[in-house]
Structure 1
Amino acid sequence: MEAPICLIENTADDKLVVNPKAINILSKFNQPMVVVSIVGMYRTGKSYLMNKLSGSQRGFDVGSTVRAQTKGIWIWCVPHPTKTNHTLVLLDTEGLGDIEKGDGKSDIRIFALAVLLSSALVYNSKGTIDQDAMNKLKFVGEISELIKIKSEDNEDEEVEISSHFPIFIWAVRDFHLELNLDGQLISEDDYLENALKLKNPEKTTKDEDYNRLRKRIRAYFGTRKCFIFGLPAANDGVLGNLEKAPESKLSERFVAQSRRFCDYIFQNVGAKHVRDMLTVTGHRFGELAKMYTEAITNSKFACIEEAVVSLAEKENQAAIQEATKHYVEKMKTIQLPTKTLANFLEQSRRYEEEARQMFLKRSFKDNNHVFLEQFMRNLLKEKNGFICINEEKSLEICNSLIKKHSLTFEKALAGGAYNVRGGHAKFKQHLKAIEEKYNMEKGKGVKADEALKQYIESKQSTEISIIQQDNALNMKEKEAAEENNRRKIYEMEQNFRRQLEQQTNQMKAENKVVVEQTISEMIRHMEMERRVMNENMERTIREKAKEQELYLKQGLQEQANKYQAHMETLQRENQDAEKSLENCQEMIGNLEDKCEELSNRWSCTIS
């Protein structure tokens, strides 16, 4: 994208509307997306940091007046500077606390959308992290009304939700104090964590309010980071035109701090995922933006699980269509008819494998393998169709060749040339010549023998009539000739049946291989998902253990117990998932039976 574009517009009637032009642009991005959003009070320099991340001095409108510049949420997609084949997605949000908006409803919705769509959320503020700064971050406490994990009430939601939320980065601008606590130098992260310490015990309502926001920040954002920035420059003229100012005009300290901020994001913020499994690409990001915006604007809240289910439904249907289309387009490149069925199956197998990999790569949350079964049905149906086309083209060519070589024979037959004494011998001689010329032709395809059999069978009654009229033959010779005629037809029929049985067995064997490969790939896919889930589970448990330890140090046993209970729940869920994978043979067996049934039915249809 050459420049930012509005992704979610904040309309005059206080509605949030997704920009279809932005969704169309996003659909063209197929790489994993690392999504960084920035929120904060208006006129605090959010857009400047976004431009630094983009590697461009200008992009998002920085502005130099007291009027808020950004409205809604703007998006800018650029190549990721350090992650190969990744897209860095920057979301610049409308400034919070704009007096022209009247109330804070819009602020809460914008903040909630930034949380839902991001890999990392940067909160930008000025001055210090004091109580006033915390009060301006009140939206964290209020988004619990707009974001739910599940549609039904969940008592542990506050503790569980961090696994769905982004990395939280607090950028403190125009900081002029020393990082000193009780006479000792501290890190920026320590500075943030100290600001999030709770009062214990809670003696008053004011204490409860003080702790409530801090508890939620700590609960919602398991990974937290802090960066402080001094004044960019001492010159007011430079400050008013930051987007045009070269680094040489800025404070060296500010430039170094900006670089550290960018480097941290480039190195530590990963691609956006849904439910820790599905990597978000441009198309998926657009779908999430539409679903979450619709829910937050028109419903009571955005439900993460409902969005996941809806996205999974769309992605699985798209996976079926995309993979099936790939198979069809590839099969259209095959030169038909093929010489044998084996030649056809060999080429089809390669494209079936490609289609299967495409499906499994895009398929998501297909727990009961309903979509996999539908994909197999579609693939077998299309394969069946191409086999029919292969046979039809073969028959067309074969019948054309027979017609060409039998033209003189058919004219003689129509003129009664064989209804004379010795006519049967000439009939057999000429029919044999047609057969020999036909067999010498190339490129007849899979129906070569069947087409010839049908032609010879069509002349059986004519031949018997010629035998009966041939006065050169006595009664015994006529009976022998008729018997030879019937025997030849019988042998051709038997040979055809053997070929048909062989082809049917070929197709069944091929389908069995396809089913086995599909199940093998499915198991590998499930094991990979399990590994990723394990890693994310372990990361979440480490975050919760860290929070629990902090609460224990502060003597907050009740809060620490909540974290302990959640960690135990996570471990149980992890063990249950492991058992589910170990005991998936029954489920796989059911799928195998269904696929076998489909392949058998397909073979019978062909035969």
Structure 2
Amino acid sequence: MEQPICLIENVGNGQLVVNPKAINILSNFEQPMVVVSIVGMYRSGKSYLMNKLAGAKRGFSLGSTVQSKTKGIWIWCIPHPFEANYTLVLLDTEGLGDVEKGNNKNDIYIFSLAVLLSSVLVYNSMGTIDQDAIDKLKFVGELSSMIKVKSQGNDDEEAEFSSHFPMFIWAVRDFHLGLMIDGKAVTEDEYLENALKLKKPEKTIRDQDYNRVRQQLRMYFGKRKCFVFDLPTANEEHLKRLEHIPDDDLNADFVTQSQKFCDYIFREADVKRMKETFPVTGPRLGELAKIYTETINSSKVACMEEAVISLAEGENKMSVQDATQHYEDKMNKVVFPTETLSQFLDISRQYEDQARKIFLTRCLQDDDQRYLKEFLQTTNKKKKEFSFKNETKSQEICGALIRNLSVDLEKALSEGAYNKPRGHGKFKQDLKAIEVKYNNETGKGLKAEEVLQEYLKSKEGNSAIILQQDNALSQREKEEEEERSRKEIKEMEEKMQQVEEARRAQKAEEEIANIKETARQLMDKFNEEKKIMNEKIKQAIEDKSKEYDLYMKQAQEAQAKMFKEQIANLERRLQEKNNSPFDWISDLVKWATKIFRF
């Protein structure tokens, strides 16, 4: 994308509308996406930071007046600077607290969508992290009323947010204080964590209000980071047109801080995932935007699990369709007939492998292998159709060749040219000549032997008549020739039966190998998803363990106990995930063996 485009438009009256043009553009991005969104008060310089991430002076509109410039949510997809296989997606949101909105629900809608769509959430504020700055993050407290993880929630629903919510980065702009606490220098992260410390004990309602947002920030966003930025420039005119000012004319510390911020995101920001494992691509991000926007517009709670189920239904249907269509398109370009069955199977296997890769890459949450089975059945059906086409084409070519080579013999038969002494020998000689010429021809395909044998067998009646009319042969010679013919026919039939049985066995062997390879790749995918899931759960355990240690250190036993229970739940979940049985793999092979009739 050369420039940003509005993804979700704020049309007023609290209604948000997804832009179809943006969805269409997103459909072209098939790589996994690192999605970075930025939220914060209006006219606080959010767009400037997003343009820095894009490596551009201009892109997202900065504006130069007190009026909010960005409306809705704007999107910009660019190549990831560090990861060639990823796409970096930037979401710039309209400013929170805009007096012109006239709808106090609009801010929480925008904030919720930013949380739901991104893998990194940057919160941009001005000055310092003080109580006023914390108060402006009141939207965090409303997330539990806007978002849920599972359709069947539980009392500990909010505890799961940290496993699904994005990394939280607090960007403090125009920071003018020293990073000192109690006379000691601290890091930016320590500055943030100190600001999020709870007041103990909670003696009043005011104390509870003081702690509430801090508790929710700590619980919802396990991975937190802070960056502080000096004033970009002391020149007020330059501030109004910051996108036009070269870095050399800006505060050197600000330039360094901005680069540090960008490098961190490029290096540490993870791919946006659904249900902790499935990577979000352009089409998936577009569908999520539509699902979540429609839900929020209808004043319903946005459920992550239901969104994945809804998205998976359409995605899996398309994965079957696209994969099988790819196989069909490739096979339609093959020049038939192939010389051997092995050649056909080698070609088919190549395109089956490609189709399977398309299917497994796109398919998600196919827990009962419903769509995998549909893919295998559809591909197998198309494979049989192409196999039949291959055999039919061979039969057509071979039949035409036999007819062409046997013109003189057929003419001689019709004229009775062989009905004379020594005629049977001449007939057998001419028939053998046709066989030799036929075998010397190329490009006949895998049905060459069958067509030839069928033709030779069809001439046995002519041979028998000619033999009986050949007066040059004795009765004994005729009987010996008849016995020889019967033996040849029997040997020919047995040979053809062996050939057919060998082909059936070869096809069955190929299908079994295909199913086993599918099961192997499915296992690889499952193990990769399990690895990602394990990493996510372990990270959540680590984050919550830090919170537990902090609360224990501060003698806040009630909060510490809550985190201890959450850690125990995560550990049980981790164990259950690692102990999942693999019966479905053997079941899949049994199913395929029955369906494909090996």
Indicate the TM-score class for this superposition, using the shorter chain for normalisation: over 0.9
| 1:251 has 2:251 as partner | yes
| 1:594 has 2:552 as partner | no
Which amino acid in the other structure matches residue 592 of structure 2? C
Q: Secondary structure at the match of 2:442?
A: coil
State the partner residue of 1:394: 394
CA distance in 1, matches of 2:549, 2:426: 104
Q: Secondary structure at the match of 1:201?
A: coil
CA distance in 1, matches of 2:414, 2:105: 92
Q: Secondary structure at the match of 1:442?
A: coil
TM-score by length of 1: 0.93
State the partner residue of 2:179: 179
| 1:191 has 2:191 as partner | yes
CA distance in 2, matches of 1:511, 1:299: 51
CA distance in 1, matches of 2:524, 2:248: 54
| 1:444 has 2:444 as partner | yes
Q: Which runs of 5+ in 1 are unaligned?
A: 602-607
Q: How does 1:234-245 map to 2 (within 5 A)?
A: 234-245=234-245
| 1:327 has 2:324 as partner | no
* Structure 1 residues 322-367: Cα deviation after superposition (integer angstroms, max 9, x where no partner): 3333333443444422222122223333333333334333333232
CA distance in 1, matches of 2:208, 2:415: 111
| 1:56 CA displacement | 0.9
| 1:479 CA displacement | 5.3
Could you tell which deviates more after superposition, 497-506 or 521-530?
A: 521-530
Could you tell which deviates more after superposition, 310-319 or 160-169?
A: 310-319
* Structure 1 residues 184-228: Cα deviation after superposition (integer angstroms, max 9, x where no partner): 333222222222222223222222222222211111111111222
Q: Secondary structure at the match of 1:256?
A: helix
Structure 1 segments (4+ residues) deviating >6 Å: none
| 1:569 has 2:569 as partner | yes
CA distance in 2, matches of 1:86, 1:589: 35
- Contact in 1 for aligned 2:112/2:147 (Cα 8 Å): yes
| 1:436 CA displacement | 2.1
State the partner residue of 1:212: 212
Q: Secondary structure at the match of 1:593?
A: helix
CA distance in 1, matches of 2:78, 2:347: 40
| 1:162 has 2:162 as partner | yes
State the partner residue of 2:284: 284
State the partner residue of 1:604: none
Which amino acid in the other structure matches residue 123 of structure 2? Y
| 1:483 CA displacement | 4.6
State the partner residue of 2:519: 519
* Structure 1 residues 127-167: Cα deviation after superposition (integer angstroms, max 9, x where no partner): 22222222221111112111110122321111111110011
1:153–1:519 Cα change, 3 Å: closer
Which amino acid in the other structure matches residue 28 of structure 1? N
| 1:477 CA displacement | 5.6
* Structure 1 residues 253-283: Cα deviation after superposition (integer angstroms, max 9, x where no partner): 3222222222221222122122232222222
CA distance in 2, matches of 1:521, 1:168: 35
Which amino acid in the other structure matches residue 430 of structure 2? H
CA distance in 2, matches of 1:468, 1:591: 61
**What is the root-mean-square deviation of aligned Cα atoms in Å?**
2.2
Q: Secondary structure at the match of 1:227?
A: strand
| 1:427 has 2:427 as partner | yes
State the partner residue of 1:41: 41
- Contact in 2 for aligned 1:338/1:344 (Cα 8 Å): yes
* Structure 1 residues 8-28: Cα deviation after superposition (integer angstroms, max 9, x where no partner): 111245322221211221222
Between the aligned residues of both structures, percent identity stands at 55
* Structure 1 residues 42-81: Cα deviation after superposition (integer angstroms, max 9, x where no partner): 1111111111111111111100111111111101112222
Q: Secondary structure at the match of 1:169?
A: strand
State the partner residue of 1:23: 23
- Contact in 1 for aligned 2:278/2:529 (Cα 8 Å): no
Which amino acid in the other structure matches residue 570 of structure 1? L
Which amino acid in the other structure matches residue 53 of structure 2? L
Q: Secondary structure at the match of 1:35?
A: strand
CA distance in 2, matches of 1:221, 1:420: 102
CA distance in 2, matches of 1:200, 1:329: 68
| 1:113 CA displacement | 0.8
- Contact in 1 for aligned 2:337/2:390 (Cα 8 Å): yes
Which amino acid in the other structure matches residue 15 of structure 1? Q
State the partner residue of 1:544: 544
State the partner residue of 1:73: 73
CA distance in 2, matches of 1:12, 1:88: 29
Q: How does 1:311-350 map to 2 (within 5 A)?
A: 311-350=311-350
CA distance in 2, matches of 1:498, 1:506: 12
Q: How does 1:377-388 map to 2 (within 5 A)?
A: 377-388=377-388
State the partner residue of 1:127: 127
| 1:475 CA displacement | 6.1
- Contact in 2 for aligned 1:159/1:562 (Cα 8 Å): no
| 1:555 has 2:555 as partner | yes
State the partner residue of 1:51: 51
Q: Secondary structure at the match of 1:99?
A: coil
| 1:174 CA displacement | 2.1
- Contact in 2 for aligned 1:39/1:95 (Cα 8 Å): yes
- Contact in 2 for aligned 1:316/1:371 (Cα 8 Å): yes
- Contact in 1 for aligned 2:13/2:103 (Cα 8 Å): no
Q: Secondary structure at the match of 2:226?
A: strand
* Structure 1 residues 276-312: Cα deviation after superposition (integer angstroms, max 9, x where no partner): 3222222222222222222222350211111222333
State the partner residue of 1:605: none
* Length, aligned pairs only: 598
Could you tell which deviates more after superposition, 566-575 or 552-561?
A: 552-561
Could you tell which deviates more after superposition, 275-284 or 62-71?
A: 275-284
CA distance in 1, matches of 2:8, 2:255: 31
CA distance in 1, matches of 2:458, 2:154: 77
Which amino acid in the other structure matches residue 594 of structure 1? W
| 1:429 CA displacement | 3.1
CA distance in 1, matches of 2:193, 2:342: 68
CA distance in 2, matches of 1:239, 1:436: 92
| 1:465 CA displacement | 4.2
- Contact in 2 for aligned 1:31/1:281 (Cα 8 Å): yes
| 1:502 has 2:502 as partner | yes
CA distance in 2, matches of 1:184, 1:600: 76
- Contact in 1 for aligned 2:14/2:103 (Cα 8 Å): no
Q: Secondary structure at the match of 2:579?
A: helix
TM-score by length of 2: 0.94
CA distance in 1, matches of 2:256, 2:353: 51
CA distance in 1, matches of 2:332, 2:66: 62
CA distance in 2, matches of 1:190, 1:59: 33
- Contact in 1 for aligned 2:7/2:19 (Cα 8 Å): yes
Could you tell which deviates more after superposition, 419-428 or 554-563?
A: 419-428
Which amino acid in the other structure matches residue 567 of structure 2? M
| 1:478 CA displacement | 5.4
CA distance in 1, matches of 2:271, 2:578: 26
- Contact in 1 for aligned 2:123/2:171 (Cα 8 Å): yes
Q: Secondary structure at the match of 2:243?
A: coil
Which amino acid in the other structure matches residue 588 of structure 1? I
State the partner residue of 1:460: 460
Q: Secondary structure at the match of 1:243?
A: helix
State the partner residue of 1:359: 359
Q: Which runs of 5+ in 2 are unaligned?
A: none
Which amino acid in the other structure matches residue 236 of structure 1? E
Q: Secondary structure at the match of 1:100?
A: coil
- Contact in 2 for aligned 1:295/1:302 (Cα 8 Å): yes
